[in-house]
Structure 1
Amino acid sequence: MKQLDFSYRYAAPFVSQKEIDAMAPAIRLAHEQVHNGSGLGSDFLGWLDLPVNYDRDELAAVQRAARRIQGDSDVLIVIGIGGSYLGARAAIEMLTHSFYNLLEPNVRHTPRVFFVGHAISGTYLQDLIELLGDLDFSVNVISKSGTTTEPAIAFRAFKALLEKKYGPEGAKERIYATTDAKKGALKDMATLQGYTTFVIPDDVGGRYSVLTPVGLLPMAVCGVDIDQALAGAAAARDWYKTPELAENRAYQYAALRNILYRKGKTVEILVNYEPSLQYFNEWWKQLYGESEGKDHKGIFPASVNFTTDLHSMGQFIQDGLRTIF
């Protein structure tokens, strides 16, 4: 299995190897706190072992649900926001055809997938309803609480649409709820109505949940091999589990960011060269923004799509404030 290459040779004029090596003790301490659960936020470290420590029965249930949706639906509507949305969309857009939803059904072979509930826009909601027309569809509503405003509004609209088209009982068969295992408004409704339900683990925060049913069900519906996705994540877990800074690319990246931040570089830009990676950038910004933006500290995560943004943001990146890396 291929590994990502990481090189920091272009940072050499700004960061010396001596500075990087000096980070080794801090890196080792952070590693120990994460892996033995002694640091802040230790209640939400389930993502660390998620690629190997997951519910096999639930994964099989996700795959069965995906096959059912593929068999009875032209479209899957995925309702969610933030961590209940960005990871799944990033994965689907980077792993499928660039024009997946526009392909003819006999070429695509799997349902179209549209995301909603990530904005307040009534125009977007109405346009998506109009696009559905007479197509058969199912809904995957993703929310740990069930009370987040944007998904709640979208779910109300599409639940009503399902009930109008298929009747109350038929609608229940087409709603898939991904939510908390025991509590919350969506969990209560799913139990009462008998929706097919999948669990967001208590120890996995929303932004880290793409390898739970939050991301796996939409991915599987699109034909993504989720067994292989988990296998790749498990391989990465092995590659990056050493506490040795010299051997761990992830920790080298972390060390460089820390050093540059202390030197006044407060904005980090992630650059992609493929349009299909735009939502990977958006997901990355949430991962870093929510994780680091605390106590009036942190690096501001930004992103650009090259080469397109070279012709708009390129000037500022090259000749603007020297706070960017």
Structure 2
Amino acid sequence: MIIERKLARQISFDYSGAMDFVAAWELDNLQPLVSQAHSLLHGQAGPGKEYTGWLDWPISYNREELKRVKDLAAKIRERAEVLVVIGIGGSYIGARSALELLGHSFYNQLPKEKRGGPEIYFAGHNMSSSYLVHLLELVKDKEIVVNVVSKSGTTLEPAIAFRIFRQLLEERYGKEGAAKRIVATTDKDKGALKKLAGEEGYETFIVPDDVGGRYSVLTPVGLLPIAASGVDVDEIMAGAMK
């Protein structure tokens, strides 16, 4: 995958252009509130504290789980022409944003040898029937791997998209063959998707309990699609630790 490496390694925020509209004393007046919010957040003491695991995630993440992500991503790059990521909200938008940031603007249109991975498409993030029909027309004759991302497995939009793609894979490869091409990123213990994955034999990755969906890009939720595109996720995690 083509990466703008300097941009990927160091991102800074320049707010100097806003200083014509915000006085220094206004910022000073807000500082006590900012300090209080910072203290609550890092002390994991405020409302929603049970979902602040993302703060220390780049240090505390499971190294074995990341190795599994990388190993599966390598297999996907070898055997799949298309990776369809099914999810909504934070279950897809982090991966999509990272791929748009780090990769070629027209990644899917590049020859595979230049992409470094399969074409990557997203589904299950809207209720558009025409979107699904068009996507199916585009990928139906290609070698497909599906990564369904849902903590519960019952959210309407991804549940519908997954049912359709699961049917496509089972009709083409049979249930056993389809199971080898479906990856579920879901709750570690419970939920409809976790149950189905266990019954069907899908490979699974965990959505951490203490990491909210919008902050999950550095978990298997985001890292599997990113790694499948050819991006070095070890480099991403090393950068996140700094």
TM-score of the two chains, using structure 2 as the length reference: 0.93
SS at match of 1:183: coil
Return structure 1 stretches of 4+ with deviation > 3 angstroms. Answer: 10-14
Letter of the 1:160 counterpart: Q
The count of aligned residue pairs is 234
Match of 1:246 in 2: none
Match of 1:283 in 2: none
Letter of the 1:159 counterpart: R
1:37–1:167 Cα change, 3 Å: same
SS at match of 1:203: coil
Q: Which runs of 5+ in 2 are unaligned?
A: 1-8
SS at match of 1:123: helix
Q: Map 1:111-260 to 2 at 5 A.
A: 111-235=118-242
Q: Deviations over 1:71-111 (max 9, x none)?
A: 11110010001111111101011111111101122332310
Supply the RMSD in Å over aligned alpha carbons.
Answer: 1.3
Q: Map 1:286-325 to 2 at 5 A.
A: none
Match of 1:91 in 2: 98
Q: Map 1:16-35 to 2 at 5 A.
A: 16-35=23-42
Q: Deviations over 1:278-321 (max 9, x none)?
A: xxxxxxxxxxxxxxxxxxxxxxxxxxxxxxxxxxxxxxxxxxxx
Match of 2:10 in 1: 2
1:17–1:56 Cα change, 3 Å: same
Letter of the 1:2 counterpart: Q
Is the deviation greater in 179-188 or in 97-106? 97-106
1:121 to partner: Cα distance: 1.2
1:3 to partner: Cα distance: 4.7
CA distance in 2 between partners of 1:118 and 1:31 (Å): 32
SS at match of 1:76: strand
Asked if residue 72 in structure 1 is aligned to residue 82 in structure 2, the reply is no
Letter of the 1:163 counterpart: E
CA distance in 2 between partners of 1:13 and 1:102 (Å): 42
CA distance in 2 between partners of 1:145 and 1:175 (Å): 16
Letter of the 2:15 counterpart: S
Structure with bigger gyration radius:
1
SS at match of 1:176: strand
Q: Which runs of 5+ in 1 are unaligned?
A: 236-325
1:176–1:18 Cα change, 3 Å: same
SS at match of 1:210: coil
SS at match of 1:29: helix
TM-score of the two chains, using structure 1 as the length reference: 0.70
Match of 1:57 in 2: 64
Point out which structure has higher relative CO (alpha carbons under 8 A, 6+ apart): 2
SS at match of 1:51: helix
- Share of identical aligned residues, percent? 53
